[in-house]
Structure 1
Amino acid sequence: MKELEFLATCGMFEKVDAESKTKPDGTLALTVSFLESTWPSADRIRCINVGLMAQSKPIEMDLDMTNKEKMEYYRSQEKDYRRRIDKARPCLLPLSVHREILQMLKDHGKVSARFLQKIRDRVQKWYHDEGYACAQVVNFGYLNTREVVCEVVERDITQLVVQFQDKLGNVVEGNTQLPVVKRELPKQVRLNWV
Protein backbone atom coordinates (compact mmCIF):
# COMPACT_ATOMS: atom_id res chain seq x y z
CA MET A 1 0.00 0.00 0.00
CA LYS A 2 2.89 2.35 0.76
CA GLU A 3 4.34 1.69 -2.68
CA LEU A 4 0.98 2.44 -4.33
CA GLU A 5 0.66 5.64 -2.30
CA PHE A 6 4.13 6.70 -3.40
CA LEU A 7 3.28 6.05 -7.06
CA ALA A 8 0.06 8.01 -6.75
CA THR A 9 1.71 11.04 -5.11
CA CYS A 10 5.09 11.22 -6.89
CA GLY A 11 3.73 13.42 -9.69
CA MET A 12 4.73 11.09 -12.53
CA PHE A 13 1.31 9.47 -12.90
CA GLU A 14 -2.12 11.00 -13.50
CA LYS A 15 -3.88 7.95 -12.11
CA VAL A 16 -2.77 4.79 -10.31
CA ASP A 17 -5.15 1.90 -9.64
CA ALA A 18 -4.63 -1.48 -8.05
CA GLU A 19 -6.84 -4.53 -8.42
CA SER A 20 -6.33 -7.72 -6.48
CA LYS A 21 -7.87 -11.15 -6.95
CA THR A 22 -7.51 -14.22 -4.82
CA LYS A 23 -6.34 -17.22 -6.83
CA PRO A 24 -7.60 -20.78 -6.21
CA ASP A 25 -4.27 -21.72 -4.62
CA GLY A 26 -4.69 -18.99 -1.97
CA THR A 27 -2.16 -16.56 -3.43
CA LEU A 28 -3.02 -13.04 -4.43
CA ALA A 29 -2.79 -11.66 -7.97
CA LEU A 30 -2.16 -7.92 -8.00
CA THR A 31 -2.61 -5.78 -11.10
CA VAL A 32 -1.41 -2.18 -11.01
CA SER A 33 -2.59 0.06 -13.83
CA PHE A 34 -1.51 3.65 -14.33
CA LEU A 35 -1.84 6.63 -16.60
CA GLU A 36 1.48 8.35 -17.16
CA SER A 37 1.67 12.13 -16.66
CA THR A 38 2.58 14.23 -19.70
CA TRP A 39 3.64 17.85 -20.02
CA PRO A 40 3.93 20.20 -23.01
CA SER A 41 6.89 19.74 -25.33
CA ALA A 42 10.03 21.62 -24.32
CA ASP A 43 12.82 23.12 -26.40
CA ARG A 44 15.32 24.00 -23.65
CA ILE A 45 17.06 22.07 -20.90
CA ARG A 46 19.08 23.40 -18.00
CA CYS A 47 21.14 21.12 -15.77
CA ILE A 48 21.97 22.52 -12.35
CA ASN A 49 24.00 21.25 -9.42
CA VAL A 50 21.90 21.32 -6.26
CA GLY A 51 24.36 19.26 -4.20
CA LEU A 52 25.41 21.84 -1.61
CA MET A 53 22.10 23.72 -1.56
CA ALA A 54 19.78 23.43 1.40
CA GLN A 55 16.69 21.47 0.49
CA SER A 56 13.58 23.64 0.55
CA LYS A 57 10.78 22.40 2.75
CA PRO A 58 7.42 22.54 1.01
CA ILE A 59 4.72 24.44 2.87
CA GLU A 60 1.61 22.35 3.36
CA MET A 61 -1.38 23.60 1.43
CA ASP A 62 -4.48 24.04 3.57
CA LEU A 63 -7.45 22.19 2.06
CA ASP A 64 -9.78 25.03 3.11
CA MET A 65 -7.94 27.68 1.04
CA THR A 66 -9.95 29.94 -1.22
CA ASN A 67 -9.08 30.07 -4.93
CA LYS A 68 -7.29 33.39 -4.37
CA GLU A 69 -5.23 31.89 -1.52
CA LYS A 70 -4.39 28.85 -3.68
CA MET A 71 -3.16 31.11 -6.50
CA GLU A 72 -1.02 33.05 -4.01
CA TYR A 73 0.34 29.77 -2.66
CA TYR A 74 1.28 28.56 -6.17
CA ARG A 75 2.90 31.92 -7.01
CA SER A 76 4.91 31.76 -3.79
CA GLN A 77 6.07 28.21 -4.58
CA GLU A 78 7.03 29.27 -8.13
CA LYS A 79 9.00 32.29 -6.84
CA ASP A 80 10.83 30.13 -4.30
CA TYR A 81 11.71 27.56 -6.96
CA ARG A 82 12.89 30.23 -9.43
CA ARG A 83 15.11 31.76 -6.72
CA ARG A 84 16.47 28.32 -5.91
CA ILE A 85 17.47 27.43 -9.46
CA ASP A 86 18.92 30.89 -10.07
CA LYS A 87 21.27 30.37 -7.10
CA ALA A 88 22.32 26.90 -8.26
CA ARG A 89 25.64 26.25 -9.93
CA PRO A 90 25.78 24.79 -13.44
CA CYS A 91 26.59 21.09 -13.78
CA LEU A 92 29.81 19.63 -15.10
CA LEU A 93 27.82 18.10 -17.99
CA PRO A 94 29.66 18.91 -21.26
CA LEU A 95 28.04 20.82 -24.10
CA SER A 96 28.01 17.68 -26.30
CA VAL A 97 25.72 15.81 -23.87
CA HIS A 98 23.59 18.93 -23.40
CA ARG A 99 23.12 19.12 -27.20
CA GLU A 100 22.28 15.41 -27.34
CA ILE A 101 19.52 15.90 -24.75
CA LEU A 102 18.23 18.97 -26.63
CA GLN A 103 17.97 16.83 -29.76
CA MET A 104 16.10 14.18 -27.77
CA LEU A 105 13.64 16.89 -26.65
CA LYS A 106 13.10 18.09 -30.22
CA ASP A 107 12.62 14.55 -31.56
CA HIS A 108 10.30 13.36 -28.81
CA GLY A 109 7.61 16.04 -28.58
CA LYS A 110 5.59 15.88 -25.37
CA VAL A 111 7.49 15.32 -22.16
CA SER A 112 6.40 12.22 -20.23
CA ALA A 113 7.56 10.43 -17.09
CA ARG A 114 9.21 7.72 -19.20
CA PHE A 115 11.00 10.31 -21.32
CA LEU A 116 12.30 12.05 -18.19
CA GLN A 117 13.73 8.68 -17.14
CA LYS A 118 15.62 8.52 -20.47
CA ILE A 119 17.06 11.97 -19.84
CA ARG A 120 17.97 10.97 -16.28
CA ASP A 121 19.66 7.79 -17.51
CA ARG A 122 21.69 9.69 -20.13
CA VAL A 123 22.86 12.35 -17.65
CA GLN A 124 23.76 9.77 -14.99
CA LYS A 125 25.56 7.61 -17.57
CA TRP A 126 27.87 10.50 -18.43
CA TYR A 127 28.67 11.11 -14.76
CA HIS A 128 29.29 7.43 -14.05
CA ASP A 129 31.42 7.02 -17.20
CA GLU A 130 33.54 9.96 -16.01
CA GLY A 131 34.06 8.39 -12.58
CA TYR A 132 31.44 10.34 -10.62
CA ALA A 133 29.83 7.21 -9.21
CA CYS A 134 27.69 9.01 -6.62
CA ALA A 135 26.23 11.72 -8.86
CA GLN A 136 22.52 11.41 -9.50
CA VAL A 137 19.55 13.26 -10.94
CA VAL A 138 17.18 14.04 -8.08
CA ASN A 139 14.42 16.10 -9.67
CA PHE A 140 13.02 17.71 -12.81
CA GLY A 141 11.44 21.14 -12.59
CA TYR A 142 9.57 23.62 -14.80
CA LEU A 143 7.75 20.80 -16.56
CA ASN A 144 4.84 23.05 -17.53
CA THR A 145 7.12 25.45 -19.40
CA ARG A 146 9.27 25.22 -22.54
CA GLU A 147 12.33 24.56 -20.36
CA VAL A 148 13.07 21.40 -18.39
CA VAL A 149 15.33 21.86 -15.37
CA CYS A 150 17.37 18.78 -14.50
CA GLU A 151 18.54 18.92 -10.87
CA VAL A 152 21.71 16.92 -10.22
CA VAL A 153 23.51 16.19 -6.98
CA GLU A 154 27.14 15.92 -8.04
CA ARG A 155 28.39 15.01 -4.55
CA ASP A 156 30.83 17.87 -4.22
CA ILE A 157 34.17 17.22 -2.57
CA THR A 158 34.37 19.43 0.52
CA GLN A 159 37.47 17.91 2.10
CA LEU A 160 40.49 16.04 0.80
CA VAL A 161 42.78 13.95 3.00
CA VAL A 162 45.87 12.29 1.54
CA GLN A 163 46.96 9.05 3.20
CA PHE A 164 49.57 6.56 2.15
CA GLN A 165 48.80 2.89 2.71
CA ASP A 166 50.76 -0.30 2.51
CA LYS A 167 49.52 -3.42 0.67
CA LEU A 168 47.47 -4.46 3.71
CA GLY A 169 45.69 -1.10 3.95
CA ASN A 170 47.61 0.18 6.97
CA VAL A 171 48.32 3.93 7.04
CA VAL A 172 52.06 4.53 6.61
CA GLU A 173 54.38 7.46 6.00
CA GLY A 174 54.73 7.94 2.24
CA ASN A 175 57.70 8.84 0.10
CA THR A 176 55.78 10.80 -2.57
CA GLN A 177 55.75 14.55 -2.07
CA LEU A 178 52.30 16.19 -1.83
CA PRO A 179 52.81 18.49 -4.89
CA VAL A 180 53.25 15.32 -7.01
CA VAL A 181 50.01 13.87 -5.62
CA LYS A 182 48.21 17.17 -6.28
CA ARG A 183 49.51 17.28 -9.86
CA GLU A 184 47.99 13.85 -10.60
CA LEU A 185 44.51 14.69 -9.31
CA PRO A 186 41.69 15.70 -11.69
CA LYS A 187 41.29 19.46 -12.13
CA GLN A 188 37.98 19.64 -10.24
CA VAL A 189 39.58 17.99 -7.19
CA ARG A 190 42.70 20.17 -7.32
CA LEU A 191 40.50 23.27 -7.01
CA ASN A 192 39.37 22.03 -3.58
CA TRP A 193 42.91 21.38 -2.35
CA VAL A 194 43.60 23.10 0.96
Structure 2
Amino acid sequence: MMAIFNIGQVVGFYGFAAWVPTLLMARGISITNSLEYSMLIALANPFGPILVMLVADRIQRSTQIVIALCLMGAFMVGFALSGRPFEIIGFGIAFTLASNAMSSAFHTYQAELFPTRMRGQAVGFVYSWSRLSAAFAGLAVGYFLSDGGVPAIAVFIGVTMAISIIMVFAFGPRTLAQSLEAISH
Protein backbone atom coordinates (compact mmCIF):
# COMPACT_ATOMS: atom_id res chain seq x y z
CA MET A 1 0.00 0.00 0.00
CA MET A 2 2.71 2.50 0.96
CA ALA A 3 4.89 1.61 -2.05
CA ILE A 4 2.04 2.40 -4.46
CA PHE A 5 1.14 5.49 -2.43
CA ASN A 6 4.74 6.70 -2.71
CA ILE A 7 4.75 6.19 -6.48
CA GLY A 8 1.73 8.47 -6.78
CA GLN A 9 2.32 11.13 -4.15
CA VAL A 10 5.70 12.14 -5.51
CA VAL A 11 4.18 13.11 -8.86
CA GLY A 12 2.11 15.85 -7.24
CA PHE A 13 4.75 16.90 -4.76
CA TYR A 14 7.70 17.22 -7.15
CA GLY A 15 5.76 17.31 -10.41
CA PHE A 16 4.45 20.71 -9.44
CA ALA A 17 7.31 22.18 -7.40
CA ALA A 18 10.06 21.33 -9.88
CA TRP A 19 8.08 22.44 -12.92
CA VAL A 20 6.37 25.63 -11.71
CA PRO A 21 8.49 28.05 -13.80
CA THR A 22 8.03 25.90 -16.91
CA LEU A 23 4.29 25.52 -16.31
CA LEU A 24 3.98 29.28 -15.99
CA MET A 25 5.98 29.95 -19.15
CA ALA A 26 3.85 27.40 -20.99
CA ARG A 27 0.89 29.60 -20.14
CA GLY A 28 2.55 32.57 -21.80
CA ILE A 29 4.00 34.19 -18.70
CA SER A 30 7.41 35.78 -19.27
CA ILE A 31 10.46 34.14 -17.74
CA THR A 32 10.95 37.08 -15.37
CA ASN A 33 7.37 36.95 -14.10
CA SER A 34 7.49 33.15 -14.05
CA LEU A 35 10.48 33.21 -11.72
CA GLU A 36 8.86 35.90 -9.57
CA TYR A 37 5.63 33.89 -9.25
CA SER A 38 7.64 30.72 -8.55
CA MET A 39 9.52 32.46 -5.73
CA LEU A 40 6.27 33.63 -4.15
CA ILE A 41 4.82 30.14 -4.42
CA ALA A 42 7.98 28.56 -2.96
CA LEU A 43 7.82 30.81 0.10
CA ALA A 44 4.81 28.76 1.23
CA ASN A 45 6.88 25.58 1.64
CA PRO A 46 7.57 25.80 5.39
CA PHE A 47 3.98 26.64 6.28
CA GLY A 48 2.37 23.33 5.22
CA PRO A 49 4.15 21.38 7.99
CA ILE A 50 3.22 24.11 10.48
CA LEU A 51 -0.45 23.64 9.54
CA VAL A 52 -0.14 19.88 10.10
CA MET A 53 1.54 20.50 13.44
CA LEU A 54 -1.69 22.12 14.63
CA VAL A 55 -3.74 18.94 14.00
CA ALA A 56 -1.07 16.23 13.97
CA ASP A 57 -2.28 14.24 16.97
CA ARG A 58 -5.93 15.31 16.88
CA ILE A 59 -6.99 14.02 13.47
CA GLN A 60 -6.33 10.58 12.04
CA ARG A 61 -3.10 10.84 10.04
CA SER A 62 -4.52 8.90 7.10
CA THR A 63 -7.40 11.42 7.04
CA GLN A 64 -4.90 14.30 7.01
CA ILE A 65 -3.18 12.70 4.03
CA VAL A 66 -6.40 12.11 2.11
CA ILE A 67 -7.63 15.66 2.73
CA ALA A 68 -4.29 17.13 1.64
CA LEU A 69 -4.27 14.98 -1.53
CA CYS A 70 -7.83 16.07 -2.37
CA LEU A 71 -6.84 19.69 -1.87
CA MET A 72 -3.76 19.20 -4.06
CA GLY A 73 -5.96 17.91 -6.86
CA ALA A 74 -8.45 20.76 -6.51
CA PHE A 75 -5.76 23.43 -6.31
CA MET A 76 -3.97 22.00 -9.34
CA VAL A 77 -7.18 22.33 -11.35
CA GLY A 78 -7.52 25.91 -10.13
CA PHE A 79 -3.92 26.62 -11.07
CA ALA A 80 -4.41 25.15 -14.54
CA LEU A 81 -7.62 27.08 -15.22
CA SER A 82 -6.83 30.44 -13.63
CA GLY A 83 -5.78 33.36 -15.77
CA ARG A 84 -4.97 36.32 -13.57
CA PRO A 85 -1.61 36.54 -11.77
CA PHE A 86 -3.24 36.79 -8.34
CA GLU A 87 -5.23 33.59 -8.98
CA ILE A 88 -2.25 31.73 -10.41
CA ILE A 89 -0.05 32.63 -7.45
CA GLY A 90 -2.87 31.94 -4.98
CA PHE A 91 -3.57 28.46 -6.33
CA GLY A 92 0.17 27.77 -6.52
CA ILE A 93 0.59 28.75 -2.86
CA ALA A 94 -2.47 26.71 -1.85
CA PHE A 95 -1.12 23.68 -3.74
CA THR A 96 2.28 24.08 -2.07
CA LEU A 97 0.71 24.32 1.39
CA ALA A 98 -1.37 21.19 0.78
CA SER A 99 1.54 19.21 -0.68
CA ASN A 100 3.83 20.05 2.22
CA ALA A 101 1.08 19.23 4.71
CA MET A 102 0.59 15.89 2.96
CA SER A 103 4.33 15.20 3.01
CA SER A 104 4.65 15.94 6.71
CA ALA A 105 1.69 13.75 7.61
CA PHE A 106 2.72 10.85 5.39
CA HIS A 107 6.33 10.68 6.61
CA THR A 108 5.06 10.32 10.16
CA TYR A 109 2.32 7.93 9.10
CA GLN A 110 4.55 5.55 7.19
CA ALA A 111 6.96 5.32 10.13
CA GLU A 112 4.03 4.36 12.39
CA LEU A 113 3.05 1.43 10.19
CA PHE A 114 6.11 -0.75 10.72
CA PRO A 115 7.43 -2.54 13.79
CA THR A 116 10.47 -0.96 15.42
CA ARG A 117 12.74 -3.90 14.56
CA MET A 118 12.28 -3.32 10.81
CA ARG A 119 11.07 0.28 10.59
CA GLY A 120 14.19 1.73 8.94
CA GLN A 121 14.34 -0.96 6.27
CA ALA A 122 10.61 -0.91 5.59
CA VAL A 123 10.36 2.87 5.34
CA GLY A 124 13.46 2.93 3.15
CA PHE A 125 11.95 0.29 0.85
CA VAL A 126 8.55 1.93 0.40
CA TYR A 127 10.05 5.41 0.08
CA SER A 128 12.50 4.20 -2.57
CA TRP A 129 9.51 3.75 -4.88
CA SER A 130 8.95 7.50 -4.75
CA ARG A 131 12.51 8.07 -5.94
CA LEU A 132 11.99 5.69 -8.87
CA SER A 133 8.68 7.36 -9.69
CA ALA A 134 10.29 10.82 -9.47
CA ALA A 135 12.84 9.81 -12.08
CA PHE A 136 10.08 9.02 -14.56
CA ALA A 137 7.58 11.66 -13.43
CA GLY A 138 9.79 14.46 -14.72
CA LEU A 139 9.85 12.85 -18.13
CA ALA A 140 6.08 12.35 -18.03
CA VAL A 141 5.51 15.98 -17.03
CA GLY A 142 7.63 17.11 -19.97
CA TYR A 143 5.71 14.83 -22.32
CA PHE A 144 2.26 15.89 -21.09
CA LEU A 145 3.25 19.55 -21.12
CA SER A 146 4.34 19.38 -24.76
CA ASP A 147 1.34 17.26 -25.75
CA GLY A 148 -1.50 18.89 -23.80
CA GLY A 149 -0.19 21.89 -21.90
CA VAL A 150 -0.87 22.75 -18.29
CA PRO A 151 -4.36 21.13 -18.31
CA ALA A 152 -2.74 17.78 -19.22
CA ILE A 153 -0.38 18.18 -16.27
CA ALA A 154 -3.38 18.88 -14.02
CA VAL A 155 -5.00 15.64 -15.18
CA PHE A 156 -1.75 13.69 -14.72
CA ILE A 157 -1.29 15.03 -11.18
CA GLY A 158 -4.99 14.50 -10.44
CA VAL A 159 -4.87 10.84 -11.48
CA THR A 160 -1.80 10.16 -9.36
CA MET A 161 -3.41 11.94 -6.39
CA ALA A 162 -6.52 9.77 -6.86
CA ILE A 163 -4.41 6.61 -6.80
CA SER A 164 -2.67 7.79 -3.63
CA ILE A 165 -6.03 8.65 -2.03
CA ILE A 166 -7.39 5.19 -2.79
CA MET A 167 -4.30 3.52 -1.32
CA VAL A 168 -4.45 5.39 1.98
CA PHE A 169 -8.24 5.60 2.32
CA ALA A 170 -9.03 2.02 1.37
CA PHE A 171 -5.98 0.18 2.67
CA GLY A 172 -4.27 2.41 5.23
CA PRO A 173 -4.60 1.38 8.85
CA ARG A 174 -5.87 3.91 11.37
CA THR A 175 -3.19 5.03 13.82
CA LEU A 176 -4.73 7.72 16.02
CA ALA A 177 -4.29 7.03 19.74
CA GLN A 178 -2.82 3.58 19.16
CA SER A 179 0.51 2.27 20.32
CA LEU A 180 3.10 1.41 17.68
CA GLU A 181 2.90 -2.22 18.78
CA ALA A 182 -0.88 -2.34 18.15
CA ILE A 183 -0.57 -0.70 14.72
CA SER A 184 2.17 -2.89 13.34
CA HIS A 185 0.54 -6.23 14.17
TM (norm. structure 1) is: 0.29
Largest Rg, 1 or 2: 1
Q: Highest relative contact order (Cα 8 Å, sep 6+), 1 or 2?
A: 2
Between structures 1 and 2, the one with greater helix share: 2
Between structures 1 and 2, the one with greater strand share: 1
TM (norm. structure 2) is: 0.30
